[in-house]
Structure 1
Amino acid sequence: TAVWQYERARDARHDAARAERQAEEVAGVLAAPDARSRSVRVAGGAGTLVVSASRDRAVFMASGMVRPPSGRVYQLWFDDGGTMRSAGLMDPGRTTQTVLMRGAVDGASGVGITVEPAGGSRQPTTTPVALLEMPA
């Protein structure tokens, strides 16, 4: 029992540290002097993409989006000149959330959002519910 409790506490500390690092990254992108944003209506709600070229990172903020169907998830994509690159999954249980997009912006021309099977897909399998050009 003591070993199990130790492992649970260690895992909780690790999760908390990861969440803190991610929150710091999000804050850094949002507060960057070169941060640029673009907003769009999406899935019954609103979304805002914030990009910092100096940090080479992007954040997507969703507000009031309809939850995806059971067993599905919203997946974010960077558009690399027509080739979509996964940028992470949104939490299917939350209608309002802020997501630090996975990976560097790395010259992407835009961002797409699709509805994918739980766990995501290697490439988009549905028509995007939103497409955004990178903010100027």
Structure 2
Amino acid sequence: MANQQRGFCYTPHVAFSATLEHGGAYGPFNTDKTLVFNKLITNIGDAYSNATGIFVAPVAGIYYFTFFYHAGGKSKSRLILCKDGESIVMSSDHSTSTDGADNGGNAAVLQLKEGDQVYVHMAKDTHVWAAETQTSFSGFLISPM
């Protein structure tokens, strides 16, 4: 349900976009890693933390999330959109010696409760490109519940 304020209903505004800016090739790491998309483009409602990489739902509702990545083709890439530790959707690419670069992404519509956490996870021994705004994570509230 929409919240009540001063006698009328309003829909909270929640939307964010952030990019991964860590100076170029990022990974591979020897452990799984939550990606911290540290360069904010927008963060309406302040639900995304560019210090932790985690979106925390400020209200229950239906949300849309998407992520995109760029990576060199000589190493593996595997990103997973997670909700409270559960894998939702992923995008991956295998390494090849003839592939110069790869791009991938995925998206999902999720029903969240207030406080649910959504983030992008990078599998161990994989990498992405973390410069020039080519790897991003975005989400927004479609409808409160």
Instruction: Please indicate, yes or no, whether the TM-score normalized by the shorter chain is above 0.5.
Output: no
Structure (1 or 2) with the greater helix fraction: 1
With the shorter chain as reference, the TM-score category is: 0.3 to 0.5
Alignment TM-score, normalising by the size of structure 2? 0.36
Structure (1/2) with the larger strand percentage: 2
> Normalising by structure 1, what TM-score?
0.38
| Greater RCO (Cα-Cα under 8 Å, separation 6 or more) | 2
